[in-house]
A and B are shown apart, each in its own frame.
Chain A
Amino acid sequence: MWMREQDVRSGVSPQGRCTLSYVPPRHILDDSAGRTVADIARSDGLAHTRDTAQAPEEVTRLVRAAAAGDREAWGALVDRYTGLVWSVARGFRLTDADAADVVQTTWLRLVEQLDRIRDPEAVGAWLATTARREALRMLGRAGRTVPTDSDRLPEPRDAGASPGVDDALLRDERDALLWAAFEQLSEGCQTLLRVLVSDPPPSYEEVSAALEMPIGSIGPTRGRCVERLRTLMAHMEHDDRARPGHHDRTR
């Protein structure tokens, strides 16, 4: 029943996906029809994470139902938490294949633990912790190296259906700069920011578990990481302008 309510609230068809008690932000963020990022900003970020932690009874119910063999309940858990688990693996800069292994191992662990899990409402934090451990294990494995940029993240240059060509170009340049600066961040900052922006937004407890960081440190650390990101962007922009031919956008 609650799923239907959410469908109405979010105004989109979930296309067979159960969305739990929360509105996935992606369809909002993909909105290129005029809503600004600032409009969305107020409803997202850390402040928003409180709202998403609102339905422990439902999460508990889903875990119990899945433990009893309910495939739909399992699907709802997967839809709710795959973004989080993926973000943990990617935050540690794992390649596609390694991140996929970490995510699958994490879910397989949950399958085997379903009827043993002590605190079902904290299943998100449990998944985040499990993914973190598996990611660290993966990093320690022989022959693993930090992937190169080309292994990791696609170039953000697809303008999509942006409102105007000039705006799109400006935004693309800024996006490219942001993306490049993000990759220069320390692993700790990358992991934190990746987890924070995972879709759907995680709860404090989930972020805390993913980072093995006290809840009270999340806000201040996030502030420092964003500040660092801003500094990196400023430096890179400066370097870029100092280089000849920086106007050539097709480089």
Chain B
Amino acid sequence: MIEHADERMVDDLRRLVARYDPPPDHVRAAAHAAFTWRTIDEELAGLAYDSLAQTAAASGVRSGDTRTLGFENDGRGVEVEVVEQGDQRQIVGQLLPPGPGHVEIRCGRPELVVDVTTDDLGRFEATDLPSGPIRLRCTPDDGTAMSTTWISI
């Protein structure tokens, strides 16, 4: 009896959620479109460090406006500082090991690719990026391309 009432309550909730808060069409469309970003056999650098995760875990205190991210795979990587400016993001980064190359910044929403060339120490910056998911495809002048995992900034 009680369980039946529970089912009824959960089903009412299911009906309300289905009617009033289903995944928006643009969210579905973006998920379908995500497939176009498929890359094959590219070296992938995972997230090795996120200052946000550290601060949140340590104290529950919100971090400042700057967030540091580190991506790494097999001794290579890229480090990035992200500054929030409203809905825009500014990033400053460096290829590791340091050295010249270029970086494609791929933004997922809206879709956008920004190309930047690094200095001799692998440093680069980009401004006015949209917030949302991004990934960096880093190509050192003397090496092969490596992409970072996607992350929402």
Contact = CB atoms under 8 A, between A and B. Distances in A.
Interface in A78-94: 78-79, 82-83, 85-87, 90
A99 to B, nearest CB: 8
A104 B53 contact: no
A102 B152 contact: yes
A174 B62 CA distance: 38
A229 interface: yes
A86 B23 contact: yes
Contacts, number: 191
Interface of A: 25-26, 29-30, 37-38, 40-42, 44-45, 66, 69, 71, 74-75, 78-79, 82-83, 85-87, 90, 96, 99-105, 107-112, 114-116, 134, 136-144, 153-154, 156, 158, 160, 174-175, 178-179, 182, 193-194, 196-199, 222-223, 226, 229-230
A115 B40 contact: yes
Interface in B1-34: 4-24, 26-28, 30-32, 34
A226 B9 CA distance: 7
Interface in B36-92: 37-41, 44, 50, 52-53, 55-56, 62-65, 67, 84
A29 B27 contact: no
B109 A100 contact: yes
Interface string B102-132: 0000001100000000000000000000011
B38 A69 contact: yes
Contact of B34 (A83, A104, A137): A104
B135 A103 contact: no
15 contacts: A26-B18, A41-B4, A82-B23, A82-B28, A82-B31, A85-B31, A86-B27, A102-B152, A104-B34, A104-B108, A105-B151, A107-B31, A110-B34, A114-B38, A182-B13
A93 B44 CA distance: 31
Interface of B: 4-24, 26-28, 30-32, 34-35, 37-41, 44, 50, 52-53, 55-56, 62-65, 67, 84, 108-109, 131-133, 135, 147, 149-152
A137 B55 CA distance: 11
A29 B11 CA distance: 9
Contact of B147 (A101, A112, A144): A112
Given A104-B27, A112-B39, A197-B10, 6 more contacts: A83-B23, A100-B109, A102-B152, A105-B152, A111-B34, A114-B38
